[in-house]
A and B are shown apart, each in its own frame.
Chain A
Amino acid sequence: MTAVLGDFLRPARAHITAAARSGSDLPLPARRAVITELDRLVTTMNRYLDDLVLPADFTPASTADTEVRAALDGRCALRRAAASLHPAAAAVRQAGVDDAHPAAGHLSSANSYLAAGRDLLQTHFTTGSAGSTWWAPVITSPLVTAALRAELAACSRQLGAWTAQLSRTGSLYAGLPAAASQGLRDASRWLRTAANSDQAAHWRNTPAPARKLLLGIPAGFPPPRQPPSSAEPAPELCAGITVTAERLRHAVRTFAGQAGWSPAASSRSWRRHALASAITGHASELILRSLAERARQLDLSPAIRAQLTSAADDLSHTWPAFREIARHWDTISTGAHRGRDISPIASELDDLVLRTGRLAYDNPRWTPDRAGAGPARDPADLAATVSDVRIALGAVHHAIDAINHIAACDTDAVRDAISAGRLYLPTRLLPEHYDIPSPYAPAPSALAAELAGCYETAATAARRAAVALDELAVTARSPSSTLALARLSAGSPVTAPQPPDDDGRQTPAQAAPQPGVPQPRAGQVEDILHGLNITEPGMLLRAAAIDEATHDLLANATVSSRNRDSINQPPQRKPRTPDQAPRAAAKDVIHAGADTRQHAIPAGSAGSLNGTTSTRPVTVGGRSSAQAVISPRPWQGRARGSASRTDSALPPGRRLGTGRPAG
């Protein structure tokens, strides 16, 4: 079977739990190894959150939505935890470490599992012609994002508590370098902050099925084909149908990307798809009616029985729709196509037809021919127990879901073929008065439109049947209920993971600093708040975010300034001092563009940018005031002079990080 994310997240959690159980009384070499492994582990956790594409920290969207705010806070806290652990790990790197200690081993394993899980998620996001998998919008859905954050928050909680113990004993008695102890203490604080920031926002909003969906995300490549054997029992047939359906979904994705040029994108393939979909739907209806009867025999809940019958009724409208498509392909074709090119979907569908037929009929060697015909399988033979009912239902659910994907794909492809004028009729089937000296004649537009209408009808019917089976799978607690959750959640993407990277490589979100570029000192706002004895985690987080944004903006501005200098200035020009770069950046920012919206600049920042202390609103062309206020030392000398001034004390339009225009 295909690996799922749960195969990695569950062991990762177990290893973290096991590591935390090691307690704080660790030998010094083991403690050093733990710090090193913690550094790697937290970095990996941080990468999960870095994959989330969230609004900028200071846009209105980042503060209006509590979920987004919590995600930003959690990400920021985890970044800080990772940043705290880096110097700690560096401080112990030269000393001897005990990698063999179980605590270090557990952390190392947890890191490996988490990294592999992230790789699994990334397999769903490709830039090739096939595009991302159908799981991609599920992974980026709010539901799964919240579940993933909750999972990471749980890890952070465990690690935060444990590192607190480690730092308490380590700083005084364990002989760790001061930097290591300090880093461990800071990391512990940020890990607990990360856990709490996420918990507060979506503890109530993350339903239990979301975790099930998260853990059920499969790898983004098709499972190996399992050729049907001659005498598979019902459970094996169901497992085979599930595998084939998953392979079909991948085949659909691949074929959809080739529909414009592949020789297999022809009437021959589309006809086969319709044929197999009709036969599979026909057999699936039979299976559902048998299951309804079996549910009655097993005295399952009336709701399940009713839904089984209802789903079978839906299917009774689905397969005739596909048969109607097949009948239209009787005369219409894409013309003379030599060779035996057939789509990968059609090849996979052969397996699906065989298995659903063998599950529906009382013949383990059933084939779609007259010799293989026989009576329907006895309901008790189809599903002996309630669990078997669920499994058989799951198989039908997967089969119809795959057909639903095929219908949607073919509807688009055939519509394109019609637009391109690729549909023909055999001339021999036309009336005598048509004098066309070639084997094929263009299909009348009315006939092509009729075919397109058939596809729309079939796609709608398949979708309706799939949704009916979604509801049934959830009600009956079928193993395929993940499909239902996935379809429900794949609505509004909020994240877009980035390509996987190796340890130590910078992600696009974390641009590597240019060598030789003066780096402004980050952490000033946070230091100021500490100086003001502010301990509220939310404020500290936002201060840290401001510092990070300061760092990023100034790094970019400095590079931009240097590039401009290299183009415009003669080589003999006097080198710029580091504090000139921010001023140049300020020029970039403040220049009015076409957009003349009014934004308020906080007093300190305006002063730092313009060399004055003016608080009047200035025009910022197309930029948020939050971006405009960033400077290396915007609050120096002012905040200390106004110790009582906190974020909330600032007047509207001047609050840190709100980015709101002046009223």
Chain B
Amino acid sequence: MTTQRPRPLCAALASLPPARTTNKKVDGMPEISGITTLLRDADSLPDTLAAGFDAFEAMRQLARGCEDAVPALFAAFMTTADAAIDGRDAITIAPALPPSRAATGVRMPQASVPAEEIAGVLAGLGALLADRLSQAATLAATTQDRTACTEAALAAERICQLMARGSDDSRPR
């Protein structure tokens, strides 16, 4: 295993490649695209944490909205929402989180959008979030921030696993 030298946060985050699935636009979910952009454009730990908070909150709301869409996916969406709360709560107590308010709530997608497609978007966003937060954890100055980023990254990784479709790897490459 090679150890990376610490890099400036903005440079480290900017160097991350964009997530594959988060590039696609889903009708009725412009907020997700906006959150994805915010997350990708965050160039400081506070900005990453703030964007991460909003991302988890958006994922929670999306997952809750899809729980009844497909009975077979009930457990998956329920568990995803739970993982999103874990991630959001982890970020909430990070000292570096700016005291601003969260973004407004996510507008639920149109009914015509299949739950499978939403699951794909959640998997992609989870993967991007996990990568960004893991990277942020290595650059955090305080233990509390590092712990918050690590725990939130784990929650995002869990969302990615929950919403991934088997062999479909949603990780950013």
Contacts and interface: CB of A to CB of B under 8 A. Distances in A.
Contacts of B166: 370-371
Interface in A350-370: 353, 357, 361, 368-370
Contacts of A420: none
Contacts of A326: 78, 81-82
Nearest to B122: A370
A327 B101 CA distance: 21
A641 interface: no
A371 B72 contact: no
A325 to B, nearest CB: 12
Interface stretch (A5-13, A250-258, A275-283, A527-535): A275-283
A583 interface: no
A129 B73 CA distance: 40
Contact of A371 (B71, B85, B164): B164
A330 interface: yes
A437 interface: yes
Given A326-B82, A428-B102, A368 B92 contact: no
Interface string B133-157: 0000000000000010000000000
A96 interface: no
A431 interface: yes
A439 B79 contact: no
Contacts of B72: 361, 373-375
A430 interface: yes
Contacts of B75: 279, 282-283, 353, 357, 368-369, 373
Q: Which of A327, A372, A374, A426 has the most B CB atoms < 10 Å from its CB?
A: A426
A158 interface: no
A425 to B, nearest CB: 10
Interface in B88-111: 88-89, 92-93, 97, 99-102
Interface residues of A, number: 38
A373 B76 contact: yes
Contacts of B78: 275, 278-279, 323, 326, 368
A481 interface: no
Contact of A333 (B89, B147, B165): B89
B158 to A, nearest CB: 9
B157 to A, nearest CB: 12
Contacts of A323: 67, 78
A375 B73 CA distance: 10
A150 to B, nearest CB: 47
Contacts of B86: 268
A80 interface: no
Interface string A260-273: 00000000100110
A536 interface: no
A369 B161 contact: yes
A209 B57 CA distance: 53
B163 interface: yes
Nearest to B151: A340
Nearest to A375: B72
A336 interface: yes
Contact of B73 (A330, A353, A370, A437): A370
A432 interface: yes
A368 B99 contact: no
Contact of B92 (A268, A361, A428): A428
A329 B85 contact: yes
B162 interface: yes
B20 interface: no
Contacts of A333: 89
B85 A271 contact: yes
A432 B101 contact: yes
Given A373-B73, A429-B102, A368 B85 contact: no
B101 A428 contact: yes
Nearest to A432: B101
Contact of A275 (B53, B79, B162): B79
A456 B161 CA distance: 34
B171 to A, nearest CB: 14
B53 A370 contact: no
Given A271-B85, A368-B162, A431 B101 contact: yes
Contacts of B147: 338
Nearest to A319: B74
B101 A369 contact: no
A286 B75 CA distance: 13
B101 A370 contact: no
Given A336-B92, A439-B93, A282 B101 contact: no
Interface in A309-341: 323, 326-327, 329-330, 333, 336, 338
B114 to A, nearest CB: 12
B40 interface: no
Contact of A370 (B82, B92, B163): B163
Contacts of B93: 336, 338, 439
B119 interface: yes
Given A371-B165, A439-B93, A430 B101 contact: yes
A440 interface: yes
Given A375-B72, A439-B92, A370 B165 contact: yes
Nearest to B82: A275
B132 interface: no
A96 to B, nearest CB: 71
B162 A369 contact: yes
18 contacts: A272-B82, A279-B79, A283-B75, A326-B82, A336-B93, A338-B93, A353-B75, A357-B75, A361-B72, A368-B76, A369-B79, A369-B163, A370-B119, A370-B165, A371-B165, A375-B72, A431-B101, A439-B93
Interface of B: 53, 57, 60, 64, 67, 70-76, 78-79, 81-82, 85-86, 88-89, 92-93, 97, 99-102, 119, 123, 147, 161-166
Given A326-B81, A361-B72, A370-B163, 18 more contacts: A268-B86, A279-B75, A279-B78, A282-B74, A330-B81, A333-B89, A336-B92, A338-B147, A369-B164, A370-B76, A371-B166, A372-B76, A373-B72, A426-B89, A427-B99, A428-B102, A437-B99, A439-B92
